[in-house]
Structure 1
Amino acid sequence: MQDSQIGLRPATQPTMAWRNRFAALGPAFYTPLAPIALRDPYWVARSEAMASALGLQDEWWHSHEALAVFAGNHVPEGSRPLASVYSGHQFGVWAGQLGDGRAILLGEMETPGGPSLEVQLKGSGLTPYSRMGDGRAVLRSSIREFLCSEAMQALGIPTTHALCITGSDQPVRREEVETAAVVTRVAPSFIRFGHFEHFSHHDQPDALKTLADFVIDQFYASCRSAANPYAALLEAVTRRTAALIAQWQAVGFMHGVMNTDNMSILGLTIDYGPFQFMDGFDPNHTCNHSDHSGRYAYKRQPQIAHWNLFALGQALLPLIGEPDDAMAALEPYKTVFPGELDRRMAAKLGMAHASGATRAITQELLTLLARERTDWTIFWRRLAQHAAGASADTVRELFHERAAIDRILLQYRELLALDGQAPDADLMLKSNPAFVLRNYLAEQAIALAKQKDFRMVHELLAVLEHPFDDHPAHVGWAGFPPDWASHIQISCSS
């Protein structure tokens, strides 16, 4: 069933109010560029929640004109489309100039009662920064990004958002011929670590200062009054990034390509490529099959985030001044990350506060889960259901080593007894989702979408927007992945 003919109305005048603060930074930061039209576009999926947050009027949101805008076929009045330039380290190696190779920033939309949000079209055609690419995104990767960004939002993890996907039968060649799509992304800002690296590496201190001042004034206002505002900015970004990575680890999320150009200056999850939510727990798992060295394996994500922050610190050093001040700004990572992870793992155990005892039990559990490759999401959800009254057997049956899990469960009960309380089952159920976007579910939705059947995309979105609910109609999606799921390989190509 094709969504392109559902609910479309004649074009109406949009009521979008645009701001273009990034464009006001000056020509060193971007190339003015309109998106390249997508041939015969149609709707694939839309987020009604995001449309509401942007204040899009229903009549226009369901019009042909909206379809044209988000396919890149019509530039809305008041926007100043552009592609930004940045640089970065990729897989630990300096990659030089990069930039928006397939994305066009339309500008910022003013939202009702909230901050303005940038709107970006990803897959909107060639830009000066496309290098060897064609500037297009394919339906496959667009569906993955659309679903995962909204799933992460519902999990409470800072992320860019996705407003919609527009598709086309226009062919795009990757490993095989696929079809083109544009995913509309939304965020307070798409500025990355790599933006700062670009101007620092190219010895453009005035542009570097302009960018840093912009970020401070718009997003980190409290840093302005610090003795060293730029060191304060680095520390604030360090704290946000540390908290973000702790949330990734707690939910079993792997990004796959933690290059510095894929790191948000606002501490958001950005650029969903070969991501994966953990199935059987394996700390060494690498979800990007192009990552032959395992640089971005699950267990290395905290270390890599700190490495990337160090690269950001180097980029900001011309503004910070003293290397010791930059190092001091990075130091909080060493306490914020473990503290945030401890707190989140304690919540998964139903405890409001972390302690030495919760850390010890968590470590024993992680060791056992890794040894048996126990399904991450199912284990934690069943533990929460056990706390809510289900039999312990639903947890025990996940393990071959019954004596080991029995011993840990006994320690867990003893810990609770020492605290004189029962586990907070409600906290556990709200900390351990029943549903995550497993790769096999995305693959099934993509296979149907390639046949113009978008129903599973829509149904997955509805479930992932409420991941802590039970959704009886889709209980199978909360179950074990099929055997073939372990053979899915995700690459950076899109």
Structure 2
Amino acid sequence: MPFTLSIDEAPPRSGLVWRNGFADLGPAFFTELQPTPLPAPYAIATSADAGRWLGVSPEWLASGTALQVFSGNAALAGMRPLASVYSGHQFGVWAGQLGDGRAILLGETEGGIEVQLKGAGRTPYSRGGDGRAVLRSSIREFLCSEAMHALGVPTTRALSLTGSPAPVYREEAETAAVVTRLAPSFIRFGHFEHFATQGRQAELRQLADYVIDRYYPDCRGTDATAHLGGNAYAALLQAVSERTAALLAQWQAVGFCHGVMNTDNMSILGLTIDYGPFQFLDAFVPGHICNHSDHQGRYAFNRQPNVAYWNLFCLGQALMPLIGDTAHAQAALESYKAVFPARFIARMREKLGLLQPGAGDGDAALIDGLLQLLAQGGVDWTIFWRRLSQARAGGDYEAVGDLFLDRTGWNRWLLSFQERNALEDQALAADLMLKTNPKFVLRNHLGEEAIRAATRGDFTVLHTLQALLERPCEEHASQDAHWADFPPDWASTIEISCSS
């Protein structure tokens, strides 16, 4: 059994105070249990920035106490470990009861941040699984969580990554690891579906009231809800729809494929959550499928916005016993259709350094023409945008044109782009582009290199990647050659599935 440390016992002290709001909802929402201790844990990586957000010092984060706590071998006084229950649709099919099968919420701090261990052992919701996470997938989640945060995309955070020689069996024997994840809340669409499908309206209302009071207080009795008849639950659906729309606009703009957008993987706060078979695009192929378990292509890159709306519709159905009025629910969901395209165009205008609003519909046509051109040539998404940013700053577009087989089409688009540029302050526009379009993203082959080195006990590749991804828009000149280059041929053979 894990032992309990008083926060006053082992210097340096964490200084954390716990209030555990989700645990106060009661046992209908979770099962209290302790993590399964991780044998012989060792520290692999920590995020100092995530630590600052949580409110712990780098010294404490590097301490033996932190290692034991974030491996599931110890608990700080005031923590209330639990695994929550939820249900959901998986690949468009109702899957019934799910829940935290390998994640355990340690507690919520006084500052409103929940701390969760992923890979902490079996729970009542493991459905026959071992409740563990493997080193391979844990490295990917740790790196991508912090990379997405650095890109300005709403996401859960990764505080630490610990490993163990303990064997874990997937397609082959691997070793165990635990990622410590942070978020204001880990509540998902599936939490609401769970109680709605069971007809447990009291618990559904309790959960909705908790989410509104904690995270969406403007949903009650404000002018913002007047068009919804002052219905707080319809206002909640609208607020979640708008946050989800903004999130998807950012995913599409940065070229991020989630890979498994089940309703149980959708955050009620509009966060990127559950990094499994994700991928950042290499070539811009709109129909790219990153998840090799997705045989029908349901979660292809260009389908993500529509899937998000489908998931919101499921959330709306779950909330209907509280909303009551179908028209209000439909109006709440309609907000997604307005917010997503507006936010996507806004993100793309930033990528193009378009600051002046006077061009009207011309910007949308310019963006659409560029996307068609990129898709026709399968142009590398990240390298194109970075080269375009550098060209905007330096005035030489030759290296950008080299990416296109259709040079005539490129030159035609470039002429339109340069005409539009005349409306802008060139220095401000170039600076915006360089700060918006990253040089470094977590490409699959880079993650694979970190994983292969880590399995040999070498974490230097992981640490180098982490440093680059935490400042993705900086040049890091001494690191240029490899980490920002085109993917090697073998990258196309990497298969990432739901078991990853």
**Please, what TM-score do these two structures have when normalized by structure 2?**
0.94
C-alpha displacement of 1:279: 0.2
Give me the whole-angstrom Cα distance separating, in 1, the residues matched to 2:255 and 2:374.
12
Query: Residue type of the partner of 1:435?
Result: F
The alignment-based identity, stated in percent, is 62
- Offset of residue 161 of structure 1: 0.1
Give SS of 2:322's match. Answer: helix
Does the CA contact (< 8 Å) of 2:252 and 2:344 recur in 1? Answer: yes
Question: Tell me, which stretches of 5 or more residues in structure 1 are unaligned?
Answer: 1-9
| 1:478 counterpart = 2:474 | no
Q: Which amino acid aligns with 1:449?
A: A
**Corresponding residue number in structure 2 for 1:223:** 219
- Could you list the per-position Cα deviations for residues 22-45 of structure 1 after superposition, in whole angstroms to 9, with x for gaps in the alignment? 010010000001000000000011
Output the CA distance in 2 between the equivalents of 1:390 and 1:162: 39
What amino acid does structure 2 have at the position aligned with 1:387?
Answer: R
Task: Please point out which of 142, 157, 160 is paired with 1:161.
Answer: 157
Q: How far apart, CA to CA, are the structure 2 residues paired with 1:42 and 1:421?
A: 51
Moved more, 350-359 or 143-152: 350-359
| Counterpart residue number, 2:306 | 303
- Residues 390 and 483 of structure 1: CA distance in aligned 2, closer, same or farther (over 3 Å): farther
1:87 alignment partner in structure 2: 87
User: Aligned partners of 1:126, 1:214: CA distance in 2, in Å?
Assistant: 27
Query: Equivalent of 1:192, from 184, 188, 192?
Result: 188
1:444 aligns with 2:449: yes
Q: Does 1:314 align with 2:310?
A: no
Distance 2:378 2:492 in 1: 12
2:134 to 122, 133, 138: 138
Residue in 2 that maps onto 1:385 = 390
**Given residue 185 of structure 2, which amino acid in structure 1 is its aligned partner?**
S
Q: Does 1:43 align with 2:48?
A: no
User: Structure 2 matches for 1:179-328, cutoff 5 A?
Assistant: 179-225=175-221, 226=225, 227-328=230-331
Match of 1:7 in 2: none
How far 1:365 moved relative to its partner? Answer: 1.2
CA distance in 2, matches of 1:190, 1:137: 18
Q: SS at the partner of 2:220?
A: helix
> Which residue does 1:177 correspond to in 2?
173
Q: Distance in 1 between matches of 2:352 and 2:48?
A: 34
Letter in 2 for 1:270: I
1:333-348 to structure 2, matched below 5 A, reads 333-348=336-351
Letter in 1 for 2:60: W
CA distance in 2, matches of 1:393, 1:14: 53
Letter in 1 for 2:354: M
Question: What code does the residue aligned with 1:170 have?
Answer: A
Match status 1:149 vs 2:145: yes
TM-score (norm 1): 0.95
Q: CA deviation at 1:13?
A: 4.7
Distance in 1, Cα, partners of 2:57 & 2:424? 53
- The separation in 1 between residues aligned to 2:218 and 2:420, in whole angstroms, is 41
2:113 counterpart (117, 121, 146): 117
Report the Cα offset of residue 61 of structure 1. Answer: 2.2
Provide the residue aligned with 2:62 in structure 1.
Answer: 62
The answer for the alignment partner of 1:487 in structure 2 is 493
Which secondary structure state, in structure 1, belongs to the residue aligned with residue 75 of structure 2? Answer: coil
Residue correspondence of structure 1 range 97-108 to structure 2 within 5 A? 97-108=97-108
Deviation string, structure 1 residues 164-190 (Cα, Å, up to 9, x no partner) = 001000000001110000000000000
CA contact (8 A) 2:283 2:381 kept: yes
SS of equivalent residue, structure 1 residue 168: strand
CA gap 1:75/1:382 in 2 versus in 1, 3 angstroms:
same
Three-state SS of the structure 2 residue aligned to 1:284 is: coil
Q: Please name the residue that 1:5 is paired with.
A: none
Amino acid at match of 1:491: S
Task: Give yes or no for the alignment of 1:459 onto 2:455.
Answer: no
Counterpart in the other structure of 1:365: 370
1:388 partner SS: helix
Instruction: Give the distance between the partners of 2:60 and 2:248, measured in 1 at CA.
Output: 38
Cα separation, partners in 2 of 1:365 and 1:164, compared to 1, 3 Å: same
Contact 2:356 2:424 in 1 (8 A): no
Shift of 1:58: 4.0
State the distance in 2 between where 1:324 and 1:415 align. Answer: 42
The Cα of 1:103 is off from its aligned counterpart by 0.4
What amino acid sits opposite 2:280 in the alignment?
Answer: F
1:434 paired with 2:430, answer no
Q: After superposition, what is the alpha-carbon deviation per residue over 1:401-444, rounded to whole angstroms, capped at 9, x for unaligned?
A: 11110111011112223x36547101111121111100100000
Residue 424 of structure 1 aligns to a residue whose secondary structure is: helix
Structure 1 residue 12: deviation in Å? 4.9
- Structure 2 distance, partners of 1:197, 1:242, is 20
- Residue-by-residue CA offset, 1:278-297 (whole Å, 9 max, x unaligned): 00000010000110110000
Q: Which runs of 5+ in 2 are unaligned?
A: 1-9
Cα deviation, residue 66, structure 1: 1.1
Q: Which runs of 4+ in 1 moved over 3 A?
A: 10-14, 420-423
Q: Kindly indicate whether the alpha-carbon contact (under 8 Å) linking 2:279 and 2:290 is maintained by their aligned counterparts in 1.
A: yes
Counterpart for residue 4 of structure 2: none
Partner SS, residue 452 of structure 2: helix
Matches of 2:424 and 2:301, distance apart in 1:
35
Aligned to 2:69, what secondary structure does the other structure show?
helix
Distance, in Å, in 2 between the alignment partners of 1:144 and 1:168 is 16
Deviations 1:64-98 (A, max 9, x none): 11110000001211000000000000000000000
Listed one character per residue, the Cα deviations across residues 218-269 of structure 1 (whole Å, up to 9, x for unaligned) are: 0001112241000000000000000000000000000000000000000000
Cα-Cα RMSD: 1.4
1:15 Cα offset (Å) = 2.4
> Is 1:157–1:247's contact at 8 Å kept on the other side of the alignment?
yes
| Other structure's SS at 1:153 match | helix
* Equivalent position amino acid for 1:369 in 2: L
Paired residue type of 2:168? V
Shift of 1:59: 3.8
Deviation per CA, 1:360-399: give whole Å up to 9, x if none: 1111111111111100000011111110015211101111
Separation in structure 1 between the aligned mates of residue 200 and residue 259 of structure 2, nearest angstrom: 31
**Alpha-carbon distance in structure 2 between the residues aligned to 1:209 and 1:335:** 28
Q: Distance in 2 between matches of 1:347 and 1:20?
A: 39
Measured in 1, the distance between the counterparts of 2:103 and 2:465 equals 25
